[in-house]
Amino acid sequence: PLASNGGKIQKPQQDFNKLFGYKYDQTGENKISGVSPEGIDFLRSLLTFDPRRRPTVDEALKHPFLQRYRTAEDEPTKQRLMDIHQGAKHDVQEWKSIIWQMIQEFKPPSWINNKQDDDPMSSDDD
């Protein structure tokens, strides 16, 4: 639900400690299972209740917790997709028609049927 104070999403008022049978002090800085303070900060940012306040993928990848795992040169880059229907006003029938047309025009990527030798999910038994 949106609040009248700037459209922020309010957290549901539930006692999660009672719900899950575990006392968690989210304001404390106690170590959690040996997780570093950077790891706790990273998880806290990803688990922010209001999705508009969560980090983007790029912001998350730049978090200090991931720096030792990250190699910027190995990361693929992709231009932002443009949704031509963003903000469009269509009735239900028009949306159905637009979606059906998109489904009919869909072309799977060329790599979709390529098996990789190092892919643990692929097998020769298929």
**54 pLDDT more than 90:** yes
Highest mean pLDDT out of 71-75, 94-98, 110-114, 121-125: 94-98
**83 pLDDT more than 80:** no
73-97 core/surface letters (b: 16 or more CB in 10 A; e: else): eeeeeeeeeeeeeeeeeeeeeeeee
Name beta bridge partners: 9: 2
Domain boundaries, the chain: 16-72
Displacement of CA 78 from its chain's centroid (Å): 16
With H, G, I as helix, E, B as strand and everything else as coil, classify residue 25: coil
Query: What's the pLDDT score for residue 104?
Result: 94
Please give the mean pLDDT across all residues of the chain. Answer: 76
Give me the percent of the chain exceeding a pLDDT of 70.
60
With H, G, I as helix, E, B as strand and everything else as coil, classify residue 59: helix
In this prediction the pTM is: 0.42
Q: Which residue has the tokens 């549901």?
A: 12
**120 pLDDT more than 70:** no
Spatial distance between the Cα atoms of 97 and 26, rounded to a whole number of angstroms? 47
**27 pLDDT more than 70:** no
**126 pLDDT more than 50:** no
CB 86 within 8 A of CB 92: no
pLDDT band at 45 (very low <50, low <70, confident <90, very high): very high
CB 115 within 8 A of CB 122: yes
CB within 8 Å of 11: residues ≥ 6 apart: 49
Spatial distance between the Cα atoms of 87 and 63, rounded to a whole number of angstroms? 32
More confident: 36 or 72: 36
Phi, psi for residue 105 in degrees, rounded to 5: -90, -5
